[in-house]
Chain A
């Protein structure tokens, strides 16, 4: 599964994207797997209320299923316009 990071999430994790093997069924499960890896992930995911997530390029929430998902992106609230 491709995992993408944007803005300060990318900076904290230190890379824009990575491909990982996961057994997680939900976004929240994936976050727990990532946090268990290294401290920089714990730092990036310490406050989920400050983060947004998209699964296959559609905004969703942390309870969302990863069934069939190919791409998950984590980023701060958007500041367009």
Chain B
């Protein structure tokens, strides 16, 4: 299990390859990557991500450990960036390894749902019109109820 909270970009290919290696008994690897997307009507200059150092790492380790236990995963990886990012940049990734694909997919979805609403990150979108904190979505909060 590995959790990284960092400002620097990460290499998706390298991280995925490193994660996939050394799991001979795991038949399924799922990876998910979140990317900063542009806004359709109001071009996004940048996204700034603030976090709570200390609590962030502890929360992500807790979610990863929960996912491993709950879905019987062989391994889990979470990388989440903070700081200033521009459209097209990767914000975060999760990877899960399991004996079968259903557990790997579900483990990744569980991690994503918890990252969205329970990990102490706050996004701010900066456009030519100004800067606005991204509001949390009810649908993201609702998504936690299925777990």
Residues in chain A within 8 A of chain B (CB atoms): 4, 6-8, 54, 57-59, 73, 75-81
Q: Could you give 19 example pairs across A and B, Cβ below 8 Å?
A: A6-B50, A57-B55, A59-B118, A75-B52, A75-B120, A77-B141, A78-B117, A78-B119, A78-B136, A79-B134, A79-B135, A80-B115, A80-B118, A80-B119, A80-B120, A80-B123, A81-B91, A81-B112, A81-B116
List the count of A-B residue pairs having beta carbons below 8 Å apart. 67
- Whether the Cβ atoms of B115 and A73 lie closer than 8 Å is no
Please determine whether A81 and B120 come into contact, CB atoms closer than 8 angstroms.
Answer: no
Distance to closest chain A CB from B3 (angstroms): 13
Contacts of A6 in B (CB 8 A): 50, 52, 120, 122
Q: Please report which residues of chain B, range 106-127, place their CB below 8 angstroms from some CB of chain A when the two chains form the complex.
A: 112, 115-124
Residues in B neighbouring A58, C-beta threshold 8 A: 55
Q: Closest residue to B120 on the A side, CB-wise?
A: A78
Q: Which of A7, A54, A59 contacts B122 (CB 8 A)?
A: A7
- The CA-CA distance from A73 to B55 in the complex, in Å, is 10
Q: Which residues of B contact A4 (CB under 8 A)?
A: 52
* Contact between chains at A78 and B55 (CB < 8 Å): no
Q: Within the assembled complex, what's the spacing in Å between the Cα atoms of A73 and B117? A: 16
